[in-house]
Amino acid sequence: MKKILLFCFALLVAQFTRAQETFPVNGAWDVRPGQYAFTNATIVVSGEQTLTNATLLVKDRVIEAVGAGVAVPKGYVTVDLKGKFIYPGLVDAYTSYGMPEAPRQTAAFNFGGPRVSVPVSTKPGAYGWNEAIRPDVNAKTIFHVNATAAEELKRNGFAAANALIRDGIARGTSAVVALSDERDNLVFINDQATANYSFSKGTAATNYPSSLMGTIALIRQTYLDAAWYKTQKGEYNISLNEFNRTQALPQVFEVTDMQSILRADKIAKEFGKQYIIKSDGKEYQNIAAVKATGSSFIIPLNFAAPYDVEDPLDARNVTYEQLKDWELAPTNPAALEKAGIKFAITSYGLTSSKDFWTNLRSAITNGLTEKQALAALTETPAEMLGVSDKVGSLAKGKLANFIITSDNLFKADNVIYETWSEGRQFVVSKMDVTDLRGTYAFKSDVSNGSLAISGTPGTYSVAFGPDSVRTPGTITRTGDLVGIYFNSRQPNGTVRLSGYISSVSPITLSGTGTAPDGTEFKWTAAYTGPAPAAGNANGAFARGGQGNPGGPRQPATPSPIGPVVYPFAAYGYVEVPKAEATLFKNATVWTNEKDGILKNTDVLIEGGKIKAIGKNLPAGTAKVIDATGKHLAPGIIDEHSHIAATGGINEGTQAVTSEVRIGDVLDATDVNLYRQLAGGVTISHILHGSANPIGGQTYIIKHRWGVTPEQMKFEGAPQFIKFALGENVKQSNSQQQFGNPNVRFPQTRMGVEQVYVDAFTRAKEYKAARAVKGNTVRRDLELEALAEILDDTRHITCHSYVQSEINMLMHVADSLGFKINTFTHILEGYKVADKMKARGIAASTFSDWWAYKMEVQDAIPYNANIMTSEGITVAINSDDAEMARRLNQEAGKSVTYGKMSEEEALKLVTLNPAKMLHIDGRVGSIKAGKDADLVLWSADPLSIYAVAEKTYVDGVAYWDYEKDAARQKEMKAEEGRIIQKMLQAKNAGSATQRAGAPRRRQLYTCDDIEDAAYVVADSYNNLAQDQTAGQQSAQNKK
């Protein structure tokens, strides 16, 4: 046995070995010259140059010459390629080729059981604290040639690939390798091509980060730590050392949604980097924003298959976003090209590698030029990977990576015959054999009919029978021999045919067959005409229903394609509305100023600001809105919201996470932004959750629907941070193993106090140490945020319920010298209102929530009234995507419970939150010069009957009840159009996918400790959550 194995090995070696000098050889050396001359070919040297009737000389691994007048030296194997084409071998810039499969373990998550606590890395060695930062991993050290995977790439024409490890946030370095089937030592083109990153922690067991914002914070801190590491001599840290070392390489960052492109780029800019971004192919969703990053891209062609939409009720499960993406994704490469953005195309991420060319051609049909397509597959990736001198075009001295094709590479019926990688041939489809595609007259002793062979040489499909009812079958071909079998209905069973090419002009197949009953017969099939064209109903029969998602889904001439909407979501605008000078005539105006509520009053807005308030104001050029009988009020401000953020709302893995920032993970596509505009909300304070005593930094946004996450931010907004007390912080309702020494501290209110004392004590020391001239204290973003609190440049809003802990935090703040800006929720605020008043602390509470857990047993709906009477600035907040859109009503409940005056009640959701957020200089009341953030209500805004007819942010009517009705109609029409197109694609033979449970947004409340979808390795954007559960928790928990 052993001998045989050795023999095989020797054969293998003999065929390929040449320069592997250091390895012993068993038997005689078998070194072949590897000299080939490809003559009479059309050679596409690069996107810029095509030679006709030219010759390519290959000597072993490299190109010896390429040109029209090249003479073929003696000793060369000559291959006549008359009528055929040679292209540079394609380069795939993003693959996991040759990488071992990453273990799918996530030790930190033991579903159904208590969570295992892994606060810091348990990996032995002088590594950093977090396992998700693994720049020390180098693809070159774990790479191993994988012949099967290589063949899959070579079938599509790829001759070189960037191999990288897709595991972790910092993922180490990749290697560019040739795809030849040789010893590992021989295939390296660049042993350290790129340094790689992502927002996915992968298999790291370390608990932190459990959210996208934690991930971004970790990346940020790692840059700082690495910089500090260079200046220190105290410790050796492989992770930081390698992180620094790999900064010189091109930096590739993988993201899985459009907005994350912007997130990654923001980090890059912060640290003076420029990433090459590996995207998910959704750049078209905001090409201008993508262009503004200045990044170059590696894009996939993973276009979605059409959905099952025959049943209108099932079709309701396909989201607008999915419908639009199905149609628009194939336009993505063209959109990038048109915008002048540099990009490479990868075959990575396809459901099946067979979709690659179908999808690429679909991209070309949708406007990508062939020239750009070629560049994106050759020169651009070669340049990105620093291997332009070796691959990407055909020139003397470069590697002999090329493909031989029957035609223009991009033509629909082109056949890739051979892919050569480093001078090693791989036959995709034999050049010298007869093309069998066609329709044949089938004759036999038992029956006659017709036989159709379609597909591409190498992957033929066959079908048997009369044209109307074709039975798909299976065909195999070995040289001139063919084998065909299919299921016959009459008689029932499998018919097997064995035959050979008996004539080539016309092509005739002859042989013997076996009927289901065992009867043997003779048959012949003579060519009668071309195969049925792909794209018609019969074209797909041979696929046996499996089909090809890209399939013949796009007709040759593209049908009209709908516009991109902003944001790319339901209710996105084709054109985002602009600020318009507007005069509201004769309204009841709730000024929130000294004037109180003014009847029959006009308000003029212009340039996004309130210009004038008064009687009979002249309209000038302004649009006039008759507001007779209506109420004009300031936009609603929600002090406590968790909408429009993604990738988890809590980084609850540590007791103190002041370094994480909601501002990093804003999501401008959240439909709740729009829904809340329809409830009069113009500003939301997006908070970190309440999982830990010191949570993350928050952000104040305006509900500008249709802009990027950055553009939603309230300009120059005061900086806040979320603190939390009580049951969530001590994890009393979670499944943690109480008493386990690894369980996260604190578990009691006693422990919570000590967390604060400790954190601020450290922050004070840090601040003092950093203040010393010439200090080398490591910059620590966690302590820096706490130092900002000490400096009063960052304000605290603290989730709180019961009086004991509220009192405690006030005392801690007094003793350590910081201020508490707001107690949020503060359901027992009425018990300590005097103490809060004495310290000038504001209160942001619920109108009537109680009884949903132990710590809210004493919550009363009179809370806002008592605190207001005590002189506290009081707001009513939502903490809930649903309640937020009727905060006006929640304010109205202060009239129900405790008879607050209506004027004061409306302030609970307008001026008062503006005050506690320190933005009342710009918003919160109707006063000349303030932002035109206004709501036109149909009735008294505190009444259950009030409908928000129009909502303005900066003078832009983002919500308009009447226009919304028209937009809904347009959206329906657009859905209908795309569904028709999908049905056509399906009829044309494309495989479809079931909608299943549509992707629904996760609704966050304070309590959502982990976004399970985020935590599971590599799938944070896959939010196919059980929506009912999500909504239920949103409704029942605070």
Partner 1 sequence: MKKKILLGFGGLLLSTVLAFGQETISPAKAQSGPIVITGATIHVGNGKVINNGYVAFDKGKITAIGEGAAPATAGATVVDAAGKQIYPGFICPITTLGLVEIEEGARGTVDDTETGELNPHVRSLIAFNTDSKVIPTVRSNGVLLAQPTPEGGTVSGQSSVMMLDGWNWEDAAYKKDIGIHLTWPVARAARGRRGGAPTPGQETPAERAQKQIDAIYSLFGQAQGYAAGGKPAVHNLRLDAMVGVFNGTKKVFINADGAKEIEQAVAFAKKFNLSAVIVGGKESYLVTDLLKQNNIPVIIKETQSLPDKDEDDVYLPYKLPHLLQDAGVLYGLTGIGFWRQRNLPFEAGEAVGYGLTKEQALSMITINNAKILGIDKTTGTLEVGKDANLFVSNGDALDMLGLDVTNEYIQGRTIDLNNKHKQLYKKFSDKYGIPTKL
Closest distance of CB 140 from partner 1, Å: 33
Closest distance of CB 493 from partner 1, Å: 24
The nearer residue to partner 1, 661 or 1038, going by C-beta atoms, is: 1038
Q: Based on the shown chain and the rule CB under 8 A, indicate whether residue 964 belongs to the binding site for partner 1.
A: yes
The nearer residue to partner 1, 186 or 991, going by C-beta atoms, is: 991
Q: Based on the shown chain and the rule CB under 8 A, indicate whether residue 316 belongs to the binding site for partner 1.
A: yes
Among 60, 835, 1016, 1018, contact with partner 1 (rule: CB under 8 A): 1016
The nearer residue to partner 1, 482 or 729, going by C-beta atoms, is: 729
Q: Which residues contact 1016 (CB under 8 A, 6 or more apart)?
A: 106, 109
Question: Between residue 463 and residue 492, which ones bind partner 1 under the rule CB under 8 A?
Answer: none
CA-nearest of 845, 846, 843 to 834 is: 843
Q: Based on the shown chain and the rule CB under 8 A, indicate whether residue 118 belongs to the binding site for partner 1.
A: no
Closest distance of CB 436 from partner 1, Å: 31
**Tokens 């059409």 belong to which residue?**
306
Q: Based on the shown chain and the rule CB under 8 A, indicate whether residue 1010 belongs to the binding site for partner 1.
A: no
The nearer residue to partner 1, 70 or 895, going by C-beta atoms, is: 895
Rounded CA separation 458/841 (Å): 76
Question: Are 761 and 634 a contacting pair, CB within 8 Å?
Answer: no
Question: Between residue 356 and residue 395, which ones bind partner 1 under the rule CB under 8 A?
Answer: none
Q: Based on the shown chain and the rule CB under 8 A, indicate whether residue 564 belongs to the binding site for partner 1.
A: no
Coil, helix or strand at residue 270: helix
CA-nearest of 695, 665, 724, 1037 to 882 is: 1037
The nearer residue to partner 1, 503 or 733, going by C-beta atoms, is: 733
Closest distance of CB 851 from partner 1, Å: 4
The nearer residue to partner 1, 239 or 672, going by C-beta atoms, is: 672
Q: What is the 3-state secondary structure (H, E, C) of 590-646?
A: ECCCCCCEEEEEEEEEECCEEEEEECCCCCCCCEEEECCCCEEEECEEEEEECCCEC
Closest distance of CB 320 from partner 1, Å: 5
Closest distance of CB 634 from partner 1, Å: 19
Q: Which residues contact 980 (CB under 8 A, 6 or more apart)?
A: none
Pull the structure tokens for residue 572.
Answer: 């996105």
Size of the site for partner 1 (CB under 8 A): 85
The nearer residue to partner 1, 782 or 902, going by C-beta atoms, is: 902
Rounded CA separation 662/796 (Å): 14
Among 561, 581, 947, 983, contact with partner 1 (rule: CB under 8 A): 947
**Tokens 């920032």 belong to which residue?**
661
Instruction: Report the DSSP pairing between strands 597-606 and 582-590.
Output: antiparallel
Report the length, in residues, of the chain: 1038
The nearer residue to partner 1, 460 or 674, going by C-beta atoms, is: 674
Among 16, 199, 229, 320, contact with partner 1 (rule: CB under 8 A): 320
Closest distance of CB 402 from partner 1, Å: 36
329 DSSP 8-state letter: G
Q: Based on the shown chain and the rule CB under 8 A, indicate whether residue 446 belongs to the binding site for partner 1.
A: no
Closest distance of CB 979 from partner 1, Å: 12
Q: Based on the shown chain and the rule CB under 8 A, indicate whether residue 748 belongs to the binding site for partner 1.
A: no
Could you please report the per-residue DSSP string of 398-432?
SB--EEEESS-TTSTT--EEEEEETTEEEESS-SS
Rounded CA separation 503/918 (Å): 88
Question: Between residue 876 and residue 905, which ones bind partner 1 under the rule CB under 8 A?
Answer: 881-883, 886, 889, 892-893, 895-899, 902
The nearer residue to partner 1, 114 or 921, going by C-beta atoms, is: 114
CB atoms within 10 A of CB 929: 10
Distances 209 to 119, 696, 1001, 1016 between C-alpha atoms, Å: 10, 12, 21, 12
Binding mask 621-660 for partner 1 (x = CB under 8 A): ----------------------------------------
Q: Based on the shown chain and the rule CB under 8 A, indicate whether residue 151 belongs to the binding site for partner 1.
A: no
The nearer residue to partner 1, 407 or 964, going by C-beta atoms, is: 964
Closest distance of CB 679 from partner 1, Å: 9
Helix or strand run (H / E) with residue 461: strand 459-464
The nearer residue to partner 1, 237 or 1025, going by C-beta atoms, is: 1025
Pull the structure tokens for residue 871.
Answer: 């002189």
Closest distance of CB 561 from partner 1, Å: 20
Distances 392 to 90, 382, 397, 403 between C-alpha atoms, Å: 7, 5, 12, 12
Could you please report the per-residue DSSP string of 12-45?
HHHHH-SS-TTS--SSS------EEEEEEEEEEE
Pull the structure tokens for residue 646.
Answer: 């993604």
Question: With left for phi above 0 and alpha for psi between -120 and 50, is residue 569 left, alpha or beta?
Answer: beta
Among 463, 909, 995, 1006, contact with partner 1 (rule: CB under 8 A): 995
Closest distance of CB 132 from partner 1, Å: 20
Question: Between residue 261 and residue 290, which ones bind partner 1 under the rule CB under 8 A?
Answer: none
Pull the structure tokens for residue 500.
Answer: 């050979």
What sign has the CA pseudo-torsion 988, 993, 995, 999?
A: negative
Q: Based on the shown chain and the rule CB under 8 A, indicate whether residue 537 belongs to the binding site for partner 1.
A: no
Q: State yes or no: cis peptide before 567, omega within 30 of 0.
A: yes
Closest distance of CB 830 from partner 1, Å: 5
Among 943, 983, 984, 1018, contact with partner 1 (rule: CB under 8 A): 943
Closest distance of CB 624 from partner 1, Å: 25
The nearer residue to partner 1, 540 or 569, going by C-beta atoms, is: 569
Binding mask 673-712 for partner 1 (x = CB under 8 A): -xx--x----------------------------------
The nearer residue to partner 1, 333 or 1030, going by C-beta atoms, is: 1030
Q: Based on the shown chain and the rule CB under 8 A, indicate whether residue 732 belongs to the binding site for partner 1.
A: yes
What sign has the CA pseudo-torsion 315, 318, 321, 324?
A: negative
Rounded CA separation 680/947 (Å): 9
Among 67, 577, 751, 998, contact with partner 1 (rule: CB under 8 A): 998
The nearer residue to partner 1, 933 or 1007, going by C-beta atoms, is: 1007
Among 224, 743, 939, 983, contact with partner 1 (rule: CB under 8 A): 939
The nearer residue to partner 1, 43 or 643, going by C-beta atoms, is: 643
Could you please report the per-residue DSSP string of 933-974?
-EEEESS-TTSTT--EEEEEETTEEEEEHHHHHHHHHHHHHH
Helix or strand run (H / E) with residue 502: strand 493-504
The nearer residue to partner 1, 569 or 637, going by C-beta atoms, is: 569
Question: Are 451 and 497 a contacting pair, CB within 8 Å?
Answer: no
Coil, helix or strand at residue 538: helix
The nearer residue to partner 1, 414 or 938, going by C-beta atoms, is: 938
Question: Are 647 and 934 a contacting pair, CB within 8 Å?
Answer: no
CB atoms within 10 A of CB 211: 33
Closest distance of CB 473 from partner 1, Å: 22
Question: Between residue 815 and residue 874, which ones bind partner 1 under the rule CB under 8 A?
Answer: 830-831, 833-834, 848, 850-855, 857-858, 860-862, 865-866, 869-870
Q: Based on the shown chain and the rule CB under 8 A, indicate whether residue 1000 belongs to the binding site for partner 1.
A: yes
Closest distance of CB 335 from partner 1, Å: 24
In the beta sheet, which residues pair with residue 49?
46
Q: Which residues contact 514 (CB under 8 A, 6 or more apart)?
A: 495, 496, 520, 521
Q: Based on the shown chain and the rule CB under 8 A, indicate whether residue 1026 belongs to the binding site for partner 1.
A: yes
Closest distance of CB 207 from partner 1, Å: 20
Q: Based on the shown chain and the rule CB under 8 A, indicate whether residue 569 belongs to the binding site for partner 1.
A: yes
Question: Between residue 16 and residue 75, which ones bind partner 1 under the rule CB under 8 A?
Answer: none
